Structure 1
């Protein structure tokens, strides 16, 4: 084959994967539907947080190229599908991008090809959706070509763990398929973990994120009653974290964001309901709790103004940090959006500051970006810290404000009210 690997979908998952493979000497072509993404990459411009323009330029220098032409698949020894799987209207995964990418591969699949799905989805997708589409070619998965699933584990903005040093789970349709996938990833990932099959690999990703989802919901619910009981939950967590075994710290906040935590557990819950006919109660309760946190934050913000004999209607409220996690520009499912909408519905005059977001465009939301942070903090009736970017000196900001609401529990300044 002329190409070792074609990566379909050049977003926050596919592009770092392509980068690490290229670094290790694998010949890689990126395939994406977006002309803008492809043209930008071929000109050395990155569109994801974890890669700088210089990283893309380095990739190009080592032979990487991007294309919108699926014909490249005919020359590929292996294909990895890294396309989005958002929630559909019935809370299941929207597989349209997966089926579209799979059909494209099916038009070019050949003897000996390795096809791997990385897109997060419900257990059984690889066997029930991807396999039949590929076999429309007349070739048989597990015999004519290899088929496997490997869950993506990219953590955008994580300076410690990236593609190479995060263990890679792989599960094939057959043991031979598993070994073929392990051999590919073993060229550019330090540790490969073999699952029993595709369903185990698919479910492992959902378990990881369901674990986080449920534990975040636990501390979010504790935040509510600890506030009512005048208990400092942040100090409670600090004390509990001193135990060297049996406890892992999770922290409350204004809601959950990103593609994984608010979405992935729903795939599992939807699958259980659809196939078994009963609810996955832990997940559904966690979703209920986490989804109400923006309303709780809004209520607390209103109370802070009430205590100062001020109304939310007409108040100047400054939001700090509108991304879903610190130090990145990614805004997917950010809780800042529902918080802002609910504050605006109460009549607040909103502004925002975020060092990573120059334009925050949300339908129906009127929030202007401030450039002079210190002046805006001093002028606001209420400052709400929604995301703790490392560039923020939170205690100094709290000290310079009239009222400061810290939803991340990072302030030590007595002027701040913590969630």
Structure 2
């Protein structure tokens, strides 16, 4: 005699049968990519966002600048995706599972303001939706402080007459993937999930198994949420340390040293850079300090790392780059995005570079993912045609390793006397004209060097 299906199994069955849908609150990179992946598996998704442009892009099948949508997929599956700027429209979509993907930061600091604003709307949608007697769920995909579950999410449910664990399931499933796919995609990376109740965790395991190859249950929602913060904090500390070492020991090629150190099995590879950008890693120490308390003496080293990072590009410029760039009259910053091949500039080092180099007689910027108007609005800088515009530059600051910069024979356009500052050694193997001064961040500067010092090949042991 077969066992009766669990409540979680009934919920998944309703989603697969398209009798119910997933509601996504916030259609930025997290929300839009969640809609994309679930809808490709035949799950109906309804997304809400306040930005009309973002909603229109989703309606047209343009989920992300980094998504490659299969030809014909959008036309064949449009019935699986609804996007709207009116949150009340979700009431008519039979939303059974609500995914919270709203921004949880303001500038460089964590902010719960949008979460606080959206929770009453989610509660009203739950109360006014017909879900066939099944228990609705609210799962948080945004990065949060774990305490926000008890101080914001659960109080909002109680205020609406909804009992957590009885009338609605609550959990946290923070995103840790990279949106463009590959080995770091939503499907491939293990997904950490955790519910406030065991029933919530059971549903999360079944739900996220639809789009993820591996789902790892945490002890509860609080541990799931904090895992995202801590793993990013560990990454932040390593990156900040690499940057500080490159300034502390100018007599050494610190990039070379760190590459050698990474050959040890338990040492990650770090590369000194122009700074730490992005939505997640730079904010992780602030989430950590907010959760632990600003006066927590055990987090003093985290606070010190934050203070160092805030002033880092200015220190880098004063210590290393000023002597290279101070005589340049026409500088271009290549790359506004903080990461390659994406339109994402949150806390990008390019913003610091634009600020510090503002007094350059002719300062311009280029990024293949941003229009001239975008760059003007964000940075207040004019653009230049790439690569032809490199001919009249005597300074090039390469921030972002976009494919366009990797694949272009820039050495044909960069003339003698030009100074190149390369964030990650994107052009380290190029043979530039004599007189070009090339500097990879973290390397010991060598006058007229045409490429950075090579990473030595492993030497076979004489005793083997």
Q: What is aligned with 2:232?
A: 209
Q: Which runs of 4+ in 1 moved over 6 A?
A: none
The answer on 1:416 being equivalent to 2:429 is no
Q: What is aligned with 2:40?
A: 23
Q: What is aligned with 1:355?
A: 368
Q: What is aligned with 1:101?
A: 118
* TM alignment of 1:332-411, pairs within 5 A: 332-344=346-358, 346-359=359-372, 360-361=374-375, 365-373=379-387, 375-393=388-406, 397=410, 400-401=414-415, 402-410=418-426, 411=428
Q: What is aligned with 1:143?
A: 166
For the residue of structure 1 that corresponds to 2:346, the secondary structure is coil
Gaps of 5+ in 2: 1-13, 128-133, 432-436, 442-464
Q: How far does residue 55 in structure 1 lie from its aligned partner after superposition?
A: 8.0
Distance in 2, matches of 1:257 and 1:328, equals: 13
Distance in 1, matches of 2:54 and 2:70, equals: 13
**Cα displacement string for residues 176-221 of structure 1 (whole angstroms, at most 9, x for unaligned residues):** 1111222211222211111111110111000111011000001001
Contact 2:193 2:201 in 1 (8 A): yes
* Higher Rg of the two aligned structures: 2
Q: What is aligned with 1:154?
A: 177
Q: How far does residue 320 in structure 1 lie from its aligned partner after superposition?
A: 1.4
Change (3 A) 1:363 1:27: closer
Distance in 2, matches of 1:174 and 1:392, equals: 49
Contact 1:209 1:260 in 2 (8 A): yes
For the residue of structure 2 that corresponds to 1:115, the secondary structure is strand
Distance in 1, matches of 2:167 and 2:218, equals: 22
**Cα displacement string for residues 247-266 of structure 1 (whole angstroms, at most 9, x for unaligned residues):** 11011111111111111321
The equivalent position to 2:90 in structure 1, one of 60, 66, 72, is 72
Gaps of 5+ in 1: none
**Cα displacement string for residues 27-86 of structure 1 (whole angstroms, at most 9, x for unaligned residues):** 221222233322332233445433559587257435221122424246211111110011
Deviates more, 1:246-255 or 1:45-54: 45-54
* TM alignment of 1:2-401, pairs within 5 A: 2-52=19-69, 57=74, 60-67=77-84, 68-73=86-91, 75-87=94-106, 93-110=110-127, 112-226=135-249, 228-229=250-251, 231-243=252-264, 245-273=265-293, 277-278=296-297, 280-299=299-318, 300-305=320-325, 310=327, 315-344=329-358, 346-359=359-372, 360-361=374-375, 365-373=379-387, 375-393=388-406, 397=410, 400-401=414-415
Contact 1:297 1:339 in 2 (8 A): no
Contact 1:44 1:54 in 2 (8 A): no
Q: How far does residue 277 in structure 1 lie from its aligned partner after superposition?
A: 4.7
Contact 1:87 1:263 in 2 (8 A): no
**Cα displacement string for residues 321-349 of structure 1 (whole angstroms, at most 9, x for unaligned residues):** 121011112111111011111111x4442
Change (3 A) 1:48 1:8: farther
Distance in 1, matches of 2:390 and 2:371, equals: 18
For the residue of structure 2 that corresponds to 1:142, the secondary structure is coil
Q: TM-score, normalising length from structure 1?
A: 0.88
Contact 2:97 2:138 in 1 (8 A): yes
**Cα displacement string for residues 282-330 of structure 1 (whole angstroms, at most 9, x for unaligned residues):** 3222222222232134333320145xxx3x5xx1111111210111121
